[in-house]
C-alpha cells in the first residue's frame, strides 16, 4: 500500500488543459482569468464581491487591515491553523481565545458572555472547523445585538451550506476567507480569496492587494499614487485557471467526501472510535475528525500516530491549541480556561478523507486503525 495522506488534491486532465491554456495567454498574473475566477466564486458563494489572493493567510491579513485597528480585541478559536489568529497580531490587534464546543467549533455562547462583559470587543474571527458551519442564527444575533464585526474563516468550508446560507456568502458576516491549498476541498496550488458584500471593503482590499497603489483617470499615463501601505498578495492567472476548473467539480468533490464520511460513520458505530459529529450534510467534510478516549486503552496517541505511519497511513491532529504555542505564551497567552479544547487535544485526530481515496484505501485505514487500537 502506498502512503495514504490525510488530505490530497484531485487533479484531472481538464485541470491540466486549463492550466496549459492559461500559460499561453498574454497576462500570466492577476488578469482576466483572475477576474473570471472571482466572478465564479461570487456566484458560487452568493457574495457580491470576491478578491482572489495568494493564500488564505494573505486573505486574513488583508481582511484584518480593513476590519481592525491597533489594539482592537478579537474573539477567536484556539482550534485552528495558526494563520487565523496570527492575522489579528499582524495588525497589532489582540486575540482573545474562547473555548470550543464538542464539534470543534468556537463556542458562540461563550463569545456572547465575553461581549456582555466587554462591549469594546471589536470582532469575532470564527472558523467553520472541518467544514462544519458555525450556527448562522447565532452569528446574526451577535452581529445585531453587539454590533460586532464578524470574519468567517471558510478555509475548510467551501461548499458547506447552513440552512440555505452558503459558506462565504457573508450573509451574517463582514468578510469570509478561503484557502485553496492542495489539501483543501479545491485547490489552486497555493491561493485564497476574500468575499464580502461591502463595496467599501472590497475597494480597500483591491488596493491593499497591490501595494496600496491607486491610479485615477486624471493622472498622467505612467502615474500612480501610493496612499496606503499595501502588499503583493496577487494570485496568478495560471492558478486561477486551475481554480475555475476545480470550482466546476467542487459539488462532485463534496459528494465524494460525503460518501467517505458516511462510510466511516457506519463502520465506527458502537466502537471506541467516535466521529466528532454524526453525519451532517451541512458540513463540507474538509476533515473527518474522530475522538478516542486513550485513557481507557493500552496505547497512547503518539504510539497510534507512529504505528499508523509504519503502515503508510498519515493521520493528523487538527489542531494544537494556538494559544499554547511558545510565541503566544511569550505574549501572555496559554492559561485560558478551555476545558473542551484541552480534552479535544488529548482525544482527537483526523482520518484520511479526499475524493481520490479509494474504497480499498478506506477499508485499509479502518481495519488497520481498529487492529492497532484493539491491541
Ligand atoms: C482554518 C485555516 N485558516 C487559514 C489557513 C491558511 O491557509 P493558507 O495555507 O492558504 O494560507 C488554513 C490552512 O491550513 C486553515 O486551515
Q: What is the mean pLDDT of residues 160-173?
A: 97
Q: Tell me the CA end-to-end span of the chain in Å, nearest whole number.
A: 21
Q: How confident is the model at residue 264 (pLDDT cuts 50, 70, 90)?
A: very high
Residue ID of nearest Cα to ligand 1 atom 8: 56
The confidence score (pLDDT) of residue 260 equals: 98
Q: For a ligand 1 pocket test, name from 9, 54, 56 the mutation site with the most ligand atoms within 8 angstroms of its C-beta.
A: 56
Q: For a ligand 1 pocket test, name from 8, 57, 233 the mutation site with the most ligand atoms within 8 angstroms of its C-beta.
A: 57
Q: Which residues line ligand 1 (CB under 6 A)?
A: 55-57, 80-81, 83-84, 127, 153, 155-156, 179, 181, 192
The confidence score (pLDDT) of residue 16 equals: 98
Q: What is the mean pLDDT of residues 252-261?
A: 98
Nearest-5° Cα angle at 350, 348 to 351? 130
pLDDT digits 0-9 by tens, 187-214: 999 999 999 999 999 999 999 999 999 9
Helices (H), the chain: 13-23, 32-45, 56-67, 83-90, 108-117, 136-146, 199-209, 237-268, 301-310, 326-330, 339-347, 359-373
Residues of the chain with CATH 3.40.640.10: 13-246
Is the CA virtual torsion 165, 168, 171, 173 positive or negative?
positive
pLDDT digits 0-9 by tens, 285-332: 999 999 999 999 999 999 999 999 999 999 999 999 999 999 999 999
The confidence score (pLDDT) of residue 93 equals: 98
Q: Measured in angstroms, how far is the CA atom of residue 359 from the centroid of ligand 1?
A: 28
CATH hierarchy code of domain 250-373: 3.90.1150.10
Q: Which helix (H) or strand (E) holds 149?
A: strand 149-153
The confidence score (pLDDT) of residue 371 equals: 97
Domain 13-246 class?
alpha beta
Q: What is the mean pLDDT of residues 90-117?
A: 98
Closest CA to 3 of 332, 251, 314: 314
If DSSP codes are grouped into helix, strand and coil, which group holds residue 33? helix
Q: Measured in angstroms, how far is the CA atom of residue 155 from the centroid of ligand 1?
A: 6
Reading the block at residue 142, the C-alpha cell is 451577535
Closest ligand 1 atom, CA of 192? 10
Closest ligand 1 atom, CA of 57? 11
The pLDDT of residue 67 is above 90: yes
Closest ligand 1 atom, CA of 191? 10
What is the rounded distance in angstroms from the CA atom of residue 110 to the CA atom of residue 337? 11
Residues of the chain with CATH 3.90.1150.10: 250-373
The confidence score (pLDDT) of residue 1 equals: 80
Average pLDDT, the chain: 97
Closest ligand 1 atom, CA of 183? 14
What is the rounded distance in angstroms from the CA atom of residue 113 to the CA atom of residue 1? 50
Q: Measured in angstroms, how far is the CA atom of residue 192 from the centroid of ligand 1?
A: 9
- Please count the residues of the chain: 375
Q: Measured in angstroms, how far is the CA atom of residue 83 from the centroid of ligand 1?
A: 6
pLDDT digits 0-9 by tens, 16-59: 999 999 999 999 999 999 999 999 999 999 999 999 999 999 99
Q: Measured in angstroms, how far is the CA atom of residue 271 from the centroid of ligand 1?
A: 32
Cβ-count burial 148-176 (b if 16+ within 10 Å, e if not): bbbbbbbbbbbbbbbeebbbbbbbbbbbb
The confidence score (pLDDT) of residue 375 equals: 84
Is the CA virtual torsion 160, 188, 356, 365 positive or negative?
negative
Amino acid at each position: 500500500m502506498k502512503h495514504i495522506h490525510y488530505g490530497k488534491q484531485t487533479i484531472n486532465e481538464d485541470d491540466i488543459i486549463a492550466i496549459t491554456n492559461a500559460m499561453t495567454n498574454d497576462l500570466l498574473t492577476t488578469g482576466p482569468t483572475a477576474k473570471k475566477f472571482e466572478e465564479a466564486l461570487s456566484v458560487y458563494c452568493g457574495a457580491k464581491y470576491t478578491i482572489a489572493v495568494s493564500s488564505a493567510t494573505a486573505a486574513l491579513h488583508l481582511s484584518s487591515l480593513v476590519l481592525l485597528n491597533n489594539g482592537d480585541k478579537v474573539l477567536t478559536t484556539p482550534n485552528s491553523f495558526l494563520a487565523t489568529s496570527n492575522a489579528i497580531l499582524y495588525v497589532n490587534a489582540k486575540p482573545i481565545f474562547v473555548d470550543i464546543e464538542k464539534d470543534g467549533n468556537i463556542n458562540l455562547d461563550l463569545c456572547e458572555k465575553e461581549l456582555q462583559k466587554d462591549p469594546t470587543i471589536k470582532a469575532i474571527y470564527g472558523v467553520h472547523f472541518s467544514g462544519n458551519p458555525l450556527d448562522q442564527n447565532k452569528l446574526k444575533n451577535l452581529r445585531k445585538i453587539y454590533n460586532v464585526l464578524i470574519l468567517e474563516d471558510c478555509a475548510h468550508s467551501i461548499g458547506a451550506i447552513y440552512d440555505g446560507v452558503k459558506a462565504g456568502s457573508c450573509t451574517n458576516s463582514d468578510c469570509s476567507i478561503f484557502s485553496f491549498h492542495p489539501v483543501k476541498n479545491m485547490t489552486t496550488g497555493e491561493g485564497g480569496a476574500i468575499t464580502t458584500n461591502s463595496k467599501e471593503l472590497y475597494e480597500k482590499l483591491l488596493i491593499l492587494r497591490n501595494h496600496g497603489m491607486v491610479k485615477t483617470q486624471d493622472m498622467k499615463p505612467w502615474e500612480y499614487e501610493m496612499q496606503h501601505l499595501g502588499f503583493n498578495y496577487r494570485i496568478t492567472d495560471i492558478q486561477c485557471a486551475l481554480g475555475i476548473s476545480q470550482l466546476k467539480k467542487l459539488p462532485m468533490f463534496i459528494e465524494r467526501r460525503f460518501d467517505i464520511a458516511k462510510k466511516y460513520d457506519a463502520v465506527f458505530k458502537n466502537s471506541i472510535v467516535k466521529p466528532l459529529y454524526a453525519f451532517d450534510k451541512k458540513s463540507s467534510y474538509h476533515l473527518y475528525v474522530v475522538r478516542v478516549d486513550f485513557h481507557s486503552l493500552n496505547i497512547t496517541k503518539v504510539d497510534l500516530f507512529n504505528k499508523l505511519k509504519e503502515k503508510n497511513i498519515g493521520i493528523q491532529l487538527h489542531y494544537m491549541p494556538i494559544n499554547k504555542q511558545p510565541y503566544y505564551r511569550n505574549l501572555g497567552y496559554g492559561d485560558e480556561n478551555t476545558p473542551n479544547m484541552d480534552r479535544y487535544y488529548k482525544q482527537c485526530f483526523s482520518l484520511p478523507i479526499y475524493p481520490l481515496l479509494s474504497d480499498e484505501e478506506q477499508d485499509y485505514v479502518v481495519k488497520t486503525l481498529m487492529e492497532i487500537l484493539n491491541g
